[in-house]
Amino acid sequence: MFLLLGVVAAPGAGVASGPWAGWSQRPKEEKAELLNTLVIGGMGVYGLLFWGYGGHTFQFVDEGWFQQDSIHGGADKLGHAFSTYVGAMSFSAVYENWGYDAHAASRLGALSGFATFFMIEFGDAFSRHGFSLQDLAADAAGALWGYARRECPALRRLVDFRVSYFPSWGSLHGHTSDYISDYSGFTYLLAFQGSGVDALSSTWLKYLELHAGYYTRGYEVQDWCHYGEPHRVVYAGVGLNLSDLVEKTGWRKTATFLEFYQPPWTELSTSYNLDR
């Protein structure tokens, strides 16, 4: 989805015929409508082909939240929130590039991000996964977080919501190729940046961050023999503000990427296992 957004947002994008004819000259409202149709419709088609949409009558499921006996220990809920957040930020950037004012772009981007993941949840209702109100609430939280970060520059300077990922034992050993749901490889964190604190912004401390994170291990069948019993972990750490450091080199796209992604093993941390 986000690759599609990047292609559509590229200056001068357009082809001679089809839905993209005269793209750069089309009204921004028409472009926004077509983009939502393509992204949301595309996700629906993907779900029909690969996620079993239509294979079950409509059903609700209660997946729980962050309890030890929930389906993924809550990692999937953070995954929903993060994915919708990235979707909202991506849509908003595209809309602003197309001529919407910043506030309208933020609002419409959040709505488009949420609409995309609502469609996914609705499709899940007709599959073995079922419709989860917990997932939908997490989607809404992610969309609202994206809106808040764009509308409040001080918040964006102060804290990032990031994901870190390294393939789990099961993925590395070929027991699964579903990297999107490879929750034993994901870590979700908030990074509180020294550069966002006025008192620190003119000192070397502006390059430091405090991290607070959460991850789960052992909830996936293919990982039980490696991670042991399912368990949840919280952690705190200290790291460098890689985004700010990279931006100083002129690599702005990489710096933006690092606002959302924390490379593994780039922080000093201490953790606490909630279930041992």
Model pLDDT for residues 12-23, shown as the tens digit of each residue? 444 445 555 676
Element (H, E) at 138: helix 133-151
* Distance separating alpha carbons of residues 8 and 98, to the nearest angstrom: 10
Cβ-proximal residues to 251 (8 Å cutoff; 6+ apart), any chain: none
Are 121 and 177 part of one and the same domain?
no
Same structural domain, 96 and 188:
no
Q: Please give the Cα distance from 111 to 128 (Å, whole number).
A: 27
Pick the last residue of a domain from 151, 181, 207.
Answer: 151
Q: What is the pLDDT of residue 254?
A: 95
Average pLDDT over residues 242-264: 94
- pLDDT score for 4: 38
Tell me the pairing of strands 131-132 and 60-61: parallel
pLDDT top residue among 20 and 111: 111
Domain end (from 126, 151, 176): 151
Q: Are residues 36 and 122 in the same domain?
A: yes
Continuous segment of H or E residues that includes residue 60: strand 60-61
CB 188 within 8 A of CB 211: no
Average pLDDT over residues 58-71: 92
For 194-229, the pLDDT digits (tens) are: 999 999 988 999 999 999 999 999 988 778 778 888
Question: Do 180 and 272 fall into the same domain?
Answer: yes
Are residues 76 and 168 located together in one domain of the fold? Answer: no
User: What is the Cα–Cα distance from 245 to 219, expressed in whole angstroms?
Assistant: 36
Q: Looking at the structure, do residues 37 and 93 belong to the same domain, yes or no?
A: yes
- Do 242 and 125 lie in one domain? The reply is no
The counts of H helices and E strands in the chain are 10, 7
Element (H, E) at 149: helix 133-151
Same domain for 172 and 125?
A: no
Claim to verify: residue 116 and residue 68 sit in the same structural domain: yes
pLDDT tens track for 79-93? 999 999 999 999 999
Whether 199 and 108 share a structural domain: no
Write down the pLDDT at residue 1: 42
Last residue of a domain, one of 151, 173, 198: 151
More confident residue, 23 or 239: 239
Which residues span the domain enclosing 163? 157-276
Q: How many domains does the chain have?
A: 2
Cα–Cα distance, 62 to 132 (Å, whole number): 6
The pLDDT tens digits for 138-196 are 999 999 999 999 999 999 999 999 999 999 888 888 777 777 888 999 999 999 999 99
Sorting pLDDT into bands at 50, 70 and 90, what band is 25? confident
Same-domain status, 140 and 184: no
* Domain identity same for 3 and 48: yes
Report, as an integer, the average pLDDT of 4-32: 60
DSSP label at residue 176: -
Other CB atoms within 10 Å distance of the CB of residue 27: 10
